[in-house]
Amino acid sequence: MVPKPEEWVNNYADYLYNYARYKLPSKEIAEDAVQETFLSAFTSLKNFKGGSSEKTWLVSILKRRIVDFYRKEARKADRNVSSFKLPFYESGNFENHWLEQRAPKTWDVDDKIQLDEFHQVLQFCLQLLPDKHRAVFMLKVLEECSSEEVCARANIKPNNLWTIMHRARLQIRECIEKKWM
């Protein structure tokens, strides 16, 4: 069986999208994964051996895209977890250091199931924050906005940003350690 890329969208896009939507956190990410699947399949047409159906082949490529997405998210989570730090003012700059006795427990996320559990607990913990703290935290940590942008969008001053982030991180850390660990 010879793959027919010109028919992929009509024949498989809905199925692949529904599969991806079930496995991924948003419709936009699912759409991107399907597009990446088609692109990857098209660029590797010569590798299709015909040992499975076109649909099965495309699904296997999509599964790899999904795994790649969660690997990237896990790496981001590792970076974001390392940003759960207590800032100390040193010579005009905020440096990030943990006091040894207040360092958080290691948060090991080994597989997709644990990552899903972690995300559910994180969402739960975020909902416990006061509205303003949640909004500021999400802008700064999850959307990775600059401090200036967060201050402008939340209508706060830089010193308020530091206080809000400090309190939010402590509350989220405590909540996650109680609910997930």
- What residue ranges define each of the domains in the chain, with the CATH number in brackets? 5-71 (1.10.1740), 83-179 (1.10.10.10)
Tokens coding 121: 């607990």
What is the per-residue pLDDT for 86? 36
Grouped pLDDT means (10 residues each) for the chain, 181 residues: 82 92 88 93 86 89 87 65 40 41 52 69 86 88 85 90 90 81 54
Tell me which DSSP letter residue 3 carries. -
Q: What is the pTM of this model?
A: 0.45
CA 8/CA 53 separation, integer angstroms: 12
Q: Where are the alpha helices (DSSP H) in the chain?
A: 5-23, 27-43, 54-82, 112-128, 131-137, 147-154, 158-179
- Please report the pLDDT score of residue 113 as a whole number: 59
Sequence-ordered list of residues with C-beta below 8 angstroms from that of 68, at least 6 positions apart, any chain = none
pLDDT of residue 110: 56
For residue 112, what pLDDT is reported? 59
87, burial (CB in 10 Å: exposed 0-12, middle 13-18, buried 19+): middle
Phi-psi region of 144 (alpha: psi -120 to 50; beta: other; left: phi over 0): left
In the chain, how long is the greatest CA-to-CA distance? Answer: 68
